[in-house]
Structure 1
């Protein structure tokens, strides 16, 4: 799988600049997905994109000037689950 880093950065930059309180969470690769970065805004809205590596995920978050966490160490913030729940209820 080829990752277009420029497109990933553009998308994540746009998300981070258009929302408040955005934090990045680096997710490890699984059997079915690459390493990913998920950005979560203050209200729980989120977006996820694949990145080349864990280090690349942390570098990207730092380049965006937002806090970056390892999801294995912190877990996901409750605001993300709450946002998902609100979206399902529509």
Structure 2
């Protein structure tokens, strides 16, 4: 992963979640893969200040993944407050506001 100083989240296609918690990142990845949504974890930053980015490489799966993480009644229903600061926005799309 690129160094944080030169890192631009808008350039990451398929970004569905960002967290400083490695366990949370792995749990979300495993849950998505149980739904047959391929997900990758990329680390940004050093070991002391690592940020884990969950990337869904298939663009067709991104809306389903974000719905499962945030909105679906039977999904994870995680709140992005504190996890995805305003200076680190997700790319805007019809299904991702």
What's the TM-score bracket when you normalise by the shorter of the two chains?
0.3 to 0.5
Structure whose residues are more often helix by fraction: 1
Structure whose residues are more often strand by fraction: 1
User: Normalising by the residue count of structure 2, what TM-score does the alignment of the two structures yield?
Assistant: 0.32
